[in-house]
Structure 1
Amino acid sequence: MNIITHWCPGNILDPNAKPNPFCLIILDQPLTHVKLFERLWDRATFKFAADGGANRLYDAFKDTPTLLEKYVPDEIAGDMDSLRDDTKDYYESKGVPVTKVSEQMTTDLMKCVIILDDKEMSKTHPKLDIVAFPALGGRFDHTIANINILYELKDQIERRVILVSDQNLTILLDKGQHHIHCLKNVEGPHCGIMPIGAPATMTTKGLKWNLENHKCFFGGMVSTCNVFDSDLIQVETDSPVVWTTEIMDLE
C-alpha cells in the first residue's frame, strides 16, 4: 500500500487552524514583517534566537520597551560570532540562557535543532516541528544553507520543518506521494515545486500547470511560477523536491 504524506504548512499562519506544536528559530536577517513575526511568535511553543538572530530581535523592538519585554526568546544558541555585547547583556538580564557551540561544521540554525533534540531526548520538551524565520532572502549562501537543512532533516519523519520568509512558506517533499492541503486565506495562489541537487520525475494534480511523469532538473525545466487550481495539491516524486507557496497579506 502506498503511503501518502499529508501537509498543511499554512496552519502555522491561519488563526482558525491548530498547527502542530513548533519551535520558532529566529535567524540573522532583519525582522521587517512584524505582523508575520508576531503571528509565528504567539503560536510557537519554544523560541530560539540563533546567534545574530538575537541582534535582529533586539533591534526590531529596542525603541518600544513593552514589545522588547514581550519578545524575549527562551534561549540563544550558536557559535556566538555575531551576538553583540549589548544584546547578550539585555537578554541575560532577562534570564535567557546563552549557549555557545564552537564547532564550525554546522550552521547556527542546525545548532539550535541539535540542542532542541537534546532537550527532547531528556524529555524536557515534546517533539516539536521546526519553523525558521526569516529563512530566505538576504545572503544567498545563507539561503542555500537553510534549504540544505530541509534535506538534512528529511528523515526525521516525526518532525516537520518549514522555512518562512516575508513572502514564502517552503518545505521539502521527500520521495513518494504527498497531499498538500492549501489554506487559501493565508497562502497562494502562486507556488513552485523544484528539485534541488538532483533531478526528480514528478506527477502532480491540483495545479494550473500540472506535471505528468515529467523529469525536472536545473538546466532543464523546473516548475516555478505555478498557481493553485485546487485546495488539494497532489504530488508524486521519485526524488526530494522543494515546495514553496507565497504568503498572502495577513489581516
Structure 2
Amino acid sequence: MSTPEEITIWHPADVFSDNPTAHKDCALIILNQPLELEVTLYAKIWENSVYKVAADGGANRIRDLNISHQGNDLEVDLVIGDLDSILPEVTKYWEDRGVEIEHDSDQYSTDYMKAVNHIWSPERPKPLNIVAIGGLGGRVDQGLSMLHHLYLFQKDYASGKMFLLSSENVTFLLKSGKHKIKAQENFHSIGLGKNVGIIPMKEPSSITTKGLEWDVTDWQTEFGGQLSTSNHVMEEWVTIETTKDVLFTIDLKFSSQQSG
C-alpha cells in the first residue's frame, strides 16, 4: 500500500509507444475475446512485450488474426489453461511453432488466473507489468469476474501493474494512496480519450482529483451513493488521491477521432 509520501506513476498508453518508458518489462495475456483493434496496433503491443501468454481460447484468437492478416505473425511463448476452448487445429498450429502448451486442470481458477499465476510466480527474477487483452469484452458476468480478479491480484505493485485492455478502454486499479496518471498521450493512430471513470471496488472511498473537468476534494464515493463516471480529462497529468482501492478507466481514441 502506498504511503502518503509516495506517488505511483502510471503510463496507461505506453504499450502503444515507439519508446515505452513504463512497459519495458511487460507481459501480455491474450484472453478468449475478439481482437478488434487494427492489426498494426497489436503488432506494436507485441513489439513492446517481452513475454506473451495465450489463455486457452485466446490461442484461437491469435491464430485467426495471423491467418486473416498475412505478414503479421504474432507469436506467443505459452498457451495455458484447462484447454477446453482451444481447437485441435489451433493446438497443432502452435505446437508446430514450438510453443509450449500447458494443461492446468484446476477447476477453481479461471484461465486468466492461471496465466497471471504463471507470469507473477515467485520464480520470476524481476517484476513484470501485465496487459490483459480482451479483459472487459463479452458477457457482463465475465467482465465483472475480470474486475474481481484484478482487485484480488493487485494486492500491491511489487510484482508489477496490471492493465485490462479492450478495444475501447484501458482499466487499472489504484491502491489507496496518491497516483499520477499520464492521461493525454497519442501514438500514431491511437491515443487516450477524454472520458474517465473512478469506481470504488470493495468499499466506499474518499477521493481527491486534479486535472479533470469536474475535480473533487475529499469526495465520498460508493455503490448506492455517488459515482464518478463520464468525467473528462483536462490536463496531461491527472492526480488522484484515494483512501481505498478504486478502479480507473479511460477510453481509447483513434486517428479518425483525433480532431474530436
- Same topology, TM > 0.5: yes
- Deviation string, structure 1 residues 113-133 (Cα, Å, up to 9, x no partner): 111233x6164xx42110000
Could you tell me how far apart the structure 2 residues matched to 1:64 and 1:214 are? 48
Bigger drift between 9-18 and 21-30 goes to 9-18
State the match for 1:130 in structure 2.
130
Q: Contact between 1:107 and 1:145, CA under 8 Å: does it hold in 2?
A: no
The correspondence of residues 11-26 of structure 1 with structure 2, limited to 5 A, is 11-20=14-23, 21-26=25-30
CA contact (8 A) 1:36 1:250 kept: no
Paired amino acid for 1:194 = I
Any gaps of 5 or more consecutive residues in structure 2? none
Match of 1:162 in 2: 163
**TM-score normalized by structure 1?**
0.91
Is the deviation greater in 190-199 or in 93-102? 190-199
* Whole-angstrom CA distance in 1 between matches of 2:118 and 2:48: 21
The one-letter amino acid of 2:240's match is V
| Contact kept? 1:194, 1:224, Cα under 8 Å | yes
Letter of the 1:138 counterpart = G
Distance 2:203 2:82 in 1: 31
User: Residue type of the partner of 2:17?
Assistant: D
Give the match for residue 115 of structure 2. 112
Q: Cα distance 1:238–1:64, how it changes in 2: closer, same or farther (>3 A)? A: closer
TM-score normalised per structure 2: 0.88
Which runs of no fewer than 5 residues in structure 1 stay unpaired?
none
Identity percentage over the alignment? 34
Instruction: Decide whether aligned partners of structure 1 residues 97 and 198 sit closer, same or farther in structure 2, where only a CA change above 3 A counts.
Output: same
CA positional deviation for 1:6: 1.4
Pick from 66, 79, 95 the counterpart of residue 82 of structure 2.
79
> Are residues 1:198 and 2:203 paired?
yes
Q: Does 1:121 align with 2:123?
A: yes
1:53: which partner in 2?
Answer: 58
Structure 1 residue ranges (4+ consecutive) displaced by more than 4 angstroms after TM superposition: none
- Aligned equivalents of 1:209, 1:215: Cα separation in 2: 14
Q: SS of the residue aligned with 2:138?
A: coil
1:77, 1:100 within 8 Å by CA — same for their partners in 2?
yes
